[in-house]
Structure 1
Amino acid sequence: MPPAAVPDDVLTTPFTDYLLRNAGVERPAFTCRTFPGPADHTLTWPQVLARVRGVARELRRVTRPGDRVAIVARQDLGYVTAFLGTLYAGRVAVPLSVPTGRTGRARIESAFADATPAACLTSKDFLDQVPPATVLAVEDIADVEPGDAEPPAAVAMTDPAYLQYTSGSTRRPAGAVISHRALVAACWQTTRCYHADASTPLAGWVPFFHDMGLVLLIGTPVFLGSRSVFFTPMEFVRDPLRWIRLLAGLPGVVSAAPNFAFDLAAEAAEDLEAVDLSRVNSVLNGSEPVRAATVEAFERAFAPFGLPRAAHKPCYGLAEATVFVTSAGAEGPTVRVFDGEQRVSVGRPYGQRVRIVDKEIQVSGPNVADGYWGRDDVIAPGGWLRTGDLGFVHDGELYVTGRLKDLIIVDGRNHHPQDIEATVEAAHPGIRRVAAFAVRDGHGEGVAVVAGCTAPDASVETAVRRAVSAAHDLPLRALWLVRPGEVPRTSSGKVSRTAARERWWGENERHG
């Protein structure tokens, strides 16, 4: 059966109209949970609108329609109102991370160079750490009461709403141009798939500068008039069970996270006190490959607390599709064996079409980005977005098998890096995170691996090499055992194979 189309009334209603509708009801809108405590800091819908109007007024004072506005702020209520205020003012938002660490600063500088923002909304702590621009501290912007308010800027649905900078796992970050039309389409797809309405809480910790966090925790609550409850990614890392406790406290909740987060939560489950997860609506597993072992471990860990198996929803999306492409439905995870490999279905499309051309997944729909900022290349020639991801469809469900650019070809045989990574992870209990990638030397193309290991020694190396040889008939050209935290990741938590190759194999090439 073809997927349902996004209704015309959705595709013609500006996103800020939903914000105005919500402001007529005095109910909680956004809650930022802080630790230790925890303590909740909440804005109602009228308070959100007052702050959004304040941000918009300041932006109208220092920028012009169509200007880009960078958001470099902490994951708190200020980030929410900064993003919404930028759209209310008719400017183009550029959601970014905070400038911590060398990699974080380099990413921000790269985005600034590409987007050339006219202004930057930031937290007070970062006023002197952002690149040159007209910088405004969100905390210092006064609210605007209804009597002094201006209406939202008039925008065309095809106008850019924001630039979603890709995580850069296989190439330099680029700003996907997300229109107002694409944003509302993606919000509709989310609500349609998970049967969400104004009574459905959205909750989580995925960063706002990532497409999953932005659409699920800011965009969809505005679209529905529902409540969003969130905390920071760092607080999740410090205690993964904070996420599980959050879900238990919000009946009917929809949440989302990358696959690695499900692993971390399952590993910590033995320390979980009695909670009731029986009323969780959906927990989306996306942003990186969904592993069958993770699905099984998560179910074993939390079924005793009442979590329905069907609540775990493997899904697939990408920044160029405003986040959403396919998802499991009421059936929950489907795991099948193909050619001896366990594969997890990422479900069916909602409000768009999916096809496979030469093993590549291609997507068409109103949620697809219009292009990359400042570039002439067409992002969806003929109306079809080439995702660069490999996959196939079975019984109407999509299975993702790898990345086109990451594909490793040795002696004419194709090897998907995530398959090799799964083999390495299973080879020894001390291995936590793995990057496998193609390398080339005087012997031709081969495979190299960087593996995070809690206690590296010769026995671990032997176990890894034997496992890869037995499972894939491949000798490893190189193997580096490092501390788990040293395996590079993208901004969304995925393993960055490109960065791993450059750091270890590139260093090897430079020094012979």
Structure 2
Amino acid sequence: MALDQTSAPVGALAGWTLTDWLARWSVERADRPAFSYVDFGSDPEGTTDTLTWSELNRRVRALAVRLRESGARRESRAAILAPQGTGYVVAFLGCFAAGTIGVPLLPPDAPGQSDRLLAVLGDCDAEFVLTTRDILPAVQAFLDRHPAPRPKELIAVDELDLDAADRYTRPVVTGDDVAYLQYTSGSTRVPSGALISHANIVANVEQALEAHNAHADAVGVNWLPLFHDMGLVATVGVPLLLGNESVFMAPFAFVQRPIRWLRLLSRHSPCYGAAPNFAYDHCVRVSTQDRETLDLGGVHWLLNGGEPVKPGTMERFAEIFAPHGLNPRALRPSFGLAEATVMVSTTRAPHVVAFDARLLGAGQVRPVAPDSPRARRLVSVGQPAGQHVRIVDPDRLTELPADRVGEIWAHGPNIAGGYWGDEQRSLATFHARLTDPSPGTPEGRWLRTGDLGFVHDGHLYVTGRIKDLIIVDGENHYPQDIETTVEGVHPAVRRDRVAAFGIADGEEERVVVVAEVVRREVPGEADRAELARRVRRAVVAAHNVRLHDLVLVRPGGIPRTSSGKIQRSACRARYEAGELPLLPPTGEGRTEPPG
């Protein structure tokens, strides 16, 4: 099935880079705020560090000169190991200005992410590490403790000689040159670095602006980590093309108190933001008292992507915040991935349809009543954002008609060039070819997303990952469906902290569910046994599947990616190795944090 929406990305075709846009705003809007980081670490009310467009441009150019005079060249990689803040923005754009390859990563003190960081550092073999003065000793200690490649130089981006900016000359950079490596979240495999060119990111930002009919004066208000693809484009890319202020905060500050993000959205009008589904679920728990002072009437759009969009979450968010001015049409479910820079498709208003879950497992699409016992309610992720999408039979490589489930393929100026240092996977993922393509289908390479979905009434729907699919007695089951069922069984099960996967048992596949439990909700062994019985009954009733095993683990016991996605394959590996952190027997070690 074909979905097409294209328009010429003006800046990308003109060969502009993000630093060219920065240079423009540094002249036209020199003293206006560019990036404002709100720090809640030292002050619960937040203190703001702001860089104007001219200040940012000067720091970026000073860093570019430092990199070039230290021997950085076009193929050099500069890893960014810095905390959330204006320094991260300087580091990222400094790589662009120097004409070198940036590698946005997380700081070494991020909980539970040291293995991922080491894997990425080993893969990209960065010659330079960019950080800030406050955590420079921690970065040095991390590199000393672990067998990571040694960089040529560590640079604190907030200790630069700003007079060096006067020596800056723009390097020869084309749109096809690699601007940065966007490492995948690693939800189903070891992280890989997608080669994002200067033209890719400018094209994808322009696609997003057109798709959302972005207000010319909109302020970005975000909290996503800057090493994440959606966080990077929403917090840095979009404001640079709009020439408007970007207000952002740390992810932990949001998780700790989601009202902080909502208050920042209230203070800026018009504004926009982006977050994965779990964030909107987190926001609906804000107290009635905290919500009283909110005015969300200036929110132009809130993108929901990066993980499956749940209709219940979206509807609860709209219902709770509509009395505080939120226009429900501002909620924009979207689909994307790092290999496409970030965005593939999006909406201008929520759209939910119920489909027959059993038929979806067989690859067929049939709408049903929302209250049908076999209903699976799916949120539309809209239409392509300035690119082409096809639904393809993953084995025959032929296009499928509407209302058939297949692999989602994408083609457009935002698609990355491949993976860093992995030609074989690059060819398989980024250079797919359709067999007997339909009229009007562009020639050239296609991105195989690895995601399953379908087109119904002109809308794209995503059903799950191919690698996560569970096959029992010849019937396909999507793990997120089973996980959603388990979450609703008992308040002891933590929301968005359930992993369902299949394990081999001879020639058959068995279903295992691992669930994090709020320990205080399950005080005794009898209650745990009752919880297990209720879960098993619910899964049989909803999916006609008998669980091989149900494992209850401590809060934090399910592995997740740096962006919060459940790592089902890693969870399966820990289950099979007997390494999951099981709940202790009743009465022992009641020290887990509340869920």
Change over 3 Å in CA distance of 1:257–1:508 after alignment to 2:
closer
Equivalent in the alignment of 1:491: 562
- SS of aligned partner of 1:268: coil
Question: Offset of 1:197 from its aligned partner?
Answer: 4.9
Equivalent in the alignment of 1:450: 514
Equivalent in the alignment of 1:60: 68
Equivalent in the alignment of 2:162: 143
- SS of aligned partner of 1:281: strand
Q: Output the amino acid matched with 1:203.
A: V
Match of 2:383 among 348, 363, 367: 348
Rg larger in structure: 2
CA contact (8 A) 1:52 1:143 kept: no
Q: Output the amino acid matched with 1:381.
A: A
Question: Offset of 1:9 from its aligned partner?
Answer: 4.8
Change over 3 Å in CA distance of 1:187–1:506 after alignment to 2:
same
Equivalent in the alignment of 2:326: 307
Change over 3 Å in CA distance of 1:95–1:9 after alignment to 2:
closer
- SS of aligned partner of 2:5: coil
Question: Offset of 1:273 from its aligned partner?
Answer: 3.0
Distance across 2 between alignment mates of 1:92 and 1:375: 17
Q: Output the amino acid matched with 2:81.
A: V
The answer as to 2:162 corresponding to 1:127 is: no
Equivalent in the alignment of 2:397: none
Unpaired stretches in structure 1, ≥5 consecutive residues = none
Question: Offset of 1:475 from its aligned partner?
Answer: 0.9
More off after superposition, 224-233 vs 56-65: 56-65
Distance across 1 between alignment mates of 2:353 and 2:419: 36
The answer as to 2:173 corresponding to 1:155 is: yes
- Matched residue count: 506
CA contact (8 A) 2:302 2:330 kept: yes
Question: Offset of 1:230 from its aligned partner?
Answer: 0.3
Question: Offset of 1:153 from its aligned partner?
Answer: 1.7
Q: Give TM-score scaled by structure 1 length.
A: 0.96
Question: Offset of 1:381 from its aligned partner?
Answer: 2.5
The answer as to 2:300 corresponding to 1:281 is: yes
Equivalent in the alignment of 1:333: 350
CA contact (8 A) 1:437 1:448 kept: yes
Distance across 1 between alignment mates of 2:473 and 2:577: 23
Question: Offset of 1:281 from its aligned partner?
Answer: 0.4
The answer as to 2:23 corresponding to 1:20 is: yes
Equivalent in the alignment of 2:441: none
Q: Give TM-score scaled by structure 2 length.
A: 0.83
Equivalent in the alignment of 2:588: none
Equivalent in the alignment of 2:550: 479
Q: Output the amino acid matched with 1:380.
A: H
In percent, how many aligned pairs have the same letter? 47
Superimposed CA distance per residue, residues 399-439 of structure 1 (whole angstroms, 9 cap, x where no aligned partner): 00010010100000000011111111111122122111111
Change over 3 Å in CA distance of 1:203–1:149 after alignment to 2:
farther
Equivalent in the alignment of 1:294: 313
CA contact (8 A) 1:194 1:282 kept: yes
Equivalent in the alignment of 1:238: 256
**What is the correspondence of 1:112-123 to structure 2 with a 5 Å cutoff?**
112-123=121-132
**What is the correspondence of 1:151-190 to structure 2 with a 5 Å cutoff?**
151-190=169-208
Q: Output the amino acid matched with 1:154.
A: V
CA contact (8 A) 1:53 1:144 kept: no
CA contact (8 A) 2:34 2:53 kept: yes
Equivalent in the alignment of 2:80: 71
CA contact (8 A) 2:409 2:446 kept: yes
Distance across 1 between alignment mates of 2:579 and 2:92: 43
Distance across 1 between alignment mates of 2:382 and 2:470: 26
CA contact (8 A) 1:370 1:380 kept: no
The runs of at least 4 aligned residues of structure 1 exceeding 6 Å deviation read none
Unpaired stretches in structure 2, ≥5 consecutive residues = 357-374, 394-405, 434-444, 523-527, 581-595
Question: Offset of 1:14 from its aligned partner?
Answer: 2.3
Distance across 1 between alignment mates of 2:276 and 2:39: 22
Distance across 2 between alignment mates of 1:138 and 1:258: 30
Change over 3 Å in CA distance of 1:366–1:439 after alignment to 2:
same
Distance across 1 between alignment mates of 2:4 and 2:116: 40
Superimposed CA distance per residue, residues 177-222 of structure 1 (whole angstroms, 9 cap, x where no aligned partner): 0011101111101111222254111111000000000011011111
CA contact (8 A) 2:215 2:270 kept: no
